[in-house]
Structure 1
């Protein structure tokens, strides 16, 4: 841990180092840029590493808590826990230290994206298979924490960040271990909380947290159950006009079945019900068991779905310079994604995944050869019609616009109206086939062109033998 040094010339100006740090304040080797979140005990800033220029997150305790032994101990505990938790889906700590007035600070990686609450507000409930894809990394992160005797105690949509990852696949990160609790080797609670104080977020607190009873890993499984319910239905399992009423519901009321609000199976209802059991011993024993049951609930039953083939379309627009997009580019990006979303839905390509600068849509490909060729040609013709419009939308905005089409095995099952739809399978592992050609355009894989007569005009992509670029008049 490092202590902040005074700048040349003596004490720093109060305008920079008052109760909140102002833009330009230096902490360790970092320079504050702006406030991003004001918490009860600490303030989160966006800052920049003076050495590399990369953005990072800086969490600084509020001055009024710097003399509180329990608050200082809890902040120090968060630093130590994050240093232990080297996990790809847990926010990474970079450095920690103290200001001259004794306020501790913690520097962490900056996560450019939005939390699951914002994702839900923007797009509504997630389909079950996408819920599984989001919860897998969260459960993996919690499993790693629990193995070290750490309980998060505040699992909620706001504490799960989603951002574009490698190949456009979403990367999920669990954040905010500020109220996490250490357990002894026997997994009993080690109290750092003042007696009589309830710690957690009311909308997702387990009954034992409300009652201030000992907590363990199963407390986080209750939080995962609340998050699972919210992702499936777009709503929380309980809502009330006051915290007291909300706590009563968590303590005594059975949660409504998700299937009453969303098209999910009874098996999914059973998983949610067990997660939200009032007694810890009635919940799943660990994240691994929970995720095994969740996968079973999500996977289609034998006879209701089949291995088939599907056609996937991956569309991405990103700044040509590689720098952050400016306002004009962001506006153009929104127009591109909105237009593509509307057209693809009209052409019966279902949206499977959507990120900040990309989307993935898919449609089943009929097994019969003639129908398969007809469907692929139909999609290619549709993209040929759409592409000039998308190019006009990005003109002058400095955006690199790229689309890739691929055909692969997929799990297909009937939708709500009985029509076949892609729900899973290798086609939806887009990171395996979305390696771009490095330039703007529409590209197709060999699988898309197989047996097409007449074949659309294409040209090879140097260095990408599996890709061909569509030639448009």
Structure 2
């Protein structure tokens, strides 16, 4: 199930704070209600996008535990319902073990409620992991990044661009012999490329909805942009997991600065970090300001990450004295 977290008074000032017309709280608590004669809402877990509330629930006949995301009837206009429906259909159409499974979408029940039923996950999102366990070892980050990238490969192959990859939308569960099995959540601001999302895919444009700290400049400006925004966001995610910092500093929360000089080198952001040189190279290429300088597909990025895992190089990233304005020590 989704692990609820207490509100953080500093949340709005953090780079994970979203920019979206969806930070609204439900006007009613539906705990105890039975939706569609099938799903009894057991307890409130948290809030999703678009005025939605997430509940732990149980199918009354087969006793299966599920998670139900319900749109608040007092906050659900036509655009919100359309975005919510798109989220459910986008995720349900994808086939990846690293994307949350959507079981059912109900556009209107007898009480005029709109909700989606999802698999019940027992774990926590990476924002919580980073808070109590970060920064993370590079081996964990490599594994997590590879799994998120596998989810993006599946999404992009179906023409779906997530548009909001960040720690809070990547959920960590115990599965397959690891406690770091990742499920990508929340396709609420996803967009469609009209086909397979390749470098020549149809660009998107429109209102800026998502999380600015994880957006490249073309997305912050409202477009045009394509699937490479997800590659940028995944690079930022890995950078943050490794350093607990962001690859670009300065600017404001809603308009992060993207200097022409490029992202902050990992060694400068966290001088004591240990990781292979190749992993730093992959991450910095992923977060390039110019989309033409990034990996051009999630499949290409995945190959680069898998190559690092296959090589299994392990050494401390050395500190370059010249990069720090120091004189090299005499031999």
TM range (shorter): 0.7 to 0.9
Please give the alpha-carbon distance, in whole angstroms, between the structure 2 residues aligned to 1:182 and 1:231.
28
Please give the alpha-carbon distance, in whole angstroms, between the structure 2 residues aligned to 1:51 and 1:190.
43
Structure with greater Cα Rg: 1
Residues paired across the two proteins, number: 283
Compute the displacement of 1:252 (Å). Answer: 5.2
Relative to structure 1, the CA distance from residue 294 to residue 83 in structure 2 (aligned partners, 3 Å threshold; closer, same or farther) is closer
2:39 corresponds in structure 1 to: 30
One of 297, 304, 312 as aligned partner of 1:293: 304
One of 160, 165, 184 as aligned partner of 1:174: 184
Confirm whether residue 93 of structure 1 aligns to residue 105 of structure 2: no
1:132 corresponds in structure 2 to: 142
Matches within 5 A, 1:93-112: 93-97=102-106, 98-100=108-110, 102-112=112-122
CA contact (8 A) 2:141 2:238 kept: yes
CA contact (8 A) 1:259 1:266 kept: no
SS at match of 2:28: coil
CA contact (8 A) 1:22 1:33 kept: no
Confirm whether residue 146 of structure 1 aligns to residue 160 of structure 2: no
Confirm whether residue 20 of structure 1 aligns to residue 28 of structure 2: yes
CA contact (8 A) 2:275 2:317 kept: no
Compute the displacement of 1:101 (Å). Answer: 5.2
Higher deviation after alignment, 214-223 or 120-129:
120-129
Matches within 5 A, 1:311-460: none
Compute the displacement of 1:133 (Å). Answer: 1.4
1:449 corresponds in structure 2 to: none
1:282 corresponds in structure 2 to: 293
Instruction: Give the number of the structure with larger relative contact order, counting CA–CA contacts within 8 Å between residues 6 or more apart.
Output: 2
Please give the alpha-carbon distance, in whole angstroms, between the structure 1 residues aligned to 2:280 and 2:98.
27
1:270 corresponds in structure 2 to: 281
Relative to structure 1, the CA distance from residue 57 to residue 250 in structure 2 (aligned partners, 3 Å threshold; closer, same or farther) is farther
Relative to structure 1, the CA distance from residue 269 to residue 109 in structure 2 (aligned partners, 3 Å threshold; closer, same or farther) is same
RMSD over aligned Cα atoms: 2.6
Relative to structure 1, the CA distance from residue 253 to residue 53 in structure 2 (aligned partners, 3 Å threshold; closer, same or farther) is farther
TM-score when scaled to structure 2?
Answer: 0.77
Tell me the alpha carbon deviations over residues 111-139 of structure 1, each in whole angstroms, 9 at most, x when there is no partner. 11011111122222222222221122211
SS at match of 1:108: strand
Please give the alpha-carbon distance, in whole angstroms, between the structure 2 residues aligned to 1:228 and 1:217.
18
Relative to structure 1, the CA distance from residue 242 to residue 39 in structure 2 (aligned partners, 3 Å threshold; closer, same or farther) is farther
More strand by share: 1
Compute the displacement of 1:190 (Å). Answer: 5.9
2:209 corresponds in structure 1 to: 199
One of 77, 85, 94 as aligned partner of 1:76: 85
Stretches of structure 1 that go unaligned for 5 or more consecutive residues are 1-17, 306-412, 418-473
Please give the alpha-carbon distance, in whole angstroms, between the structure 1 residues aligned to 2:92 and 2:209.
22
Tell me the alpha carbon deviations over residues 126-185 of structure 1, each in whole angstroms, 9 at most, x when there is no partner. 222222211222111110110010000000011111111133553211111111101213
Tell me the alpha carbon deviations over residues 54-93 of structure 1, each in whole angstroms, 9 at most, x when there is no partner. 3211111122442x32222211111211221132111001
Please give the alpha-carbon distance, in whole angstroms, between the structure 1 residues aligned to 2:80 and 2:215.
21
CA contact (8 A) 2:251 2:257 kept: no
Compute the displacement of 1:106 (Å). Answer: 0.5
Relative to structure 1, the CA distance from residue 103 to residue 227 in structure 2 (aligned partners, 3 Å threshold; closer, same or farther) is same
SS at match of 1:125: coil
Please give the alpha-carbon distance, in whole angstroms, between the structure 2 residues aligned to 1:84 and 1:218.
21
